Amino acid sequence: MGEEALGISRVVIDAQKPREISIVDLAEALAEAPGVSKVDINVTEVDARTETLKIHIEGFEIDVEEVSSILEEHSTVIRSIDAVSAEKRIVEKGNG
Amino acid sequence: MTEEEDFLENIREIIDEFETYIEISGAGEILRRYFVMNAFDGALTMLGFTVGSYISGLRNPQIIVTGGLGASLAMGVSGFVGALLSEKAEREREIRELEKILFTRLKGKGSIVEKANMIAVVLAALTDATAPALAAIISAAPFIYALFYPIDFFVAFAASVALTLLVVFLLGVYLGKISEENPIKYGLAMVLAGILVSMITLLHV
């Protein structure tokens, strides 16, 4: 018998980072955040020093604070959070 | 996983992290440049000192060793401090520029860019310090040997000159390889520079 849990299941973030930071490393770091099961990063703009990104994060009970912290650690600035999905799910007792 | 596998895995992770920092900071290029430039400096300084001393009639290996190593120590210390301060200033300027572009504070947040820059500064300073010292020690090696084993001073001198030119040649070959040009041509060009230094020293003394 499971219990109901409410959490963030999708976040779309508009961000900007220095060109030296690899989006591969960034995606891997974000994928390790609690609650994250999938990360998509698209580079939407490039200039001499920076790249603008659209980051799609999917999972359940995504820790948005942790995501923000990981981005900050990678010198990536959040310009805006463009979309969020919150979801109610039945989760197995004792899972987590 | 066994303890040994754990340990190796940790070492691999540290190396990976280091490689990431070097990639982000672009330090690879700077370190290569500093290494070659400063090793060349150290080698040719020692060569000039050795040739000048020999032409002046000096036949005491101890003086060449202490003088040469003293000079290389001075080069090492000045290289370390100079590179540390100049690289630090340059990288702080870059971070400030990025902060303006990103409209955010990057300094003091332990960000990956800050860590990468710090590693680059330290590595640049260490390279600047050790490269000339290493080249000078290789050049002085025959005289160091002469301190402990009885060999003719001229033999030590000739061996020192040959070793120095070999070091300089190998630096040229390295440059040739990384620039994907003819490494032998680069090596010979560096040797020519070395011979030029010796000739200039000969004319001055």
Q: pLDDT of B94-118, one tens digit each?
A: 899 989 999 888 887 788 888 999 9
Contacting B with CB below 8 Å, chain A residues are: 16, 18, 20-22, 25, 49-50, 72-75, 77
Q: pLDDT of B6-32, one tens digit each?
A: 888 889 988 888 888 988 888 888 899
3-state secondary structure chain A: CEEEEEEEEEEEEEEEEECCCCHHHHHHHHHCCCCEEEEEEEEEEECCCEEEEEEEEEECCCCHHHHHHHHHHCCCEEEEEEEEEEEEEEEECCCC
Q: Is B101 on the interface with A (CB under 8 A)?
A: yes
Q: pLDDT of A23-34, one tens digit each?
A: 999 999 999 999
* CB < 8 Å to B98, chain A: 18, 49-50, 75
| Number of separate domains in chain B | 1
**Size of chain B in residues:** 205
**Is the ipTM, as predicted for this complex, more than 0.90?**
no
Domains of chain A: 2-92 (3.30.70.1340)
Q: For residues A8 and A67, is the Cβ–Cβ distance under 8 A?
A: no
Q: How confident is the model at residue A96 (pLDDT cuts 50, 70, 90)?
A: very low
Q: Smallest CA–CA separation between A77 and chain B, in Å? A: 7
Q: pLDDT of A11-65, one tens digit each?
A: 999 999 999 999 999 999 999 999 999 999 999 999 999 999 999 999 999 999 9
Give every strand in the sheet of A50-59, ordered side by side: A36-46, A50-59, A2-18, A77-92
Name the closest residue on chain B to residue A20, using Cα atoms: B24
Q: Which amino acid is at B13?
A: E
Q: pLDDT of B68-91, one tens digit each?
A: 888 888 888 998 999 999 999 999
Name the closest residue on chain B to residue A22, using Cα atoms: B24
Q: Which domain holds residue B153?
A: 3-204
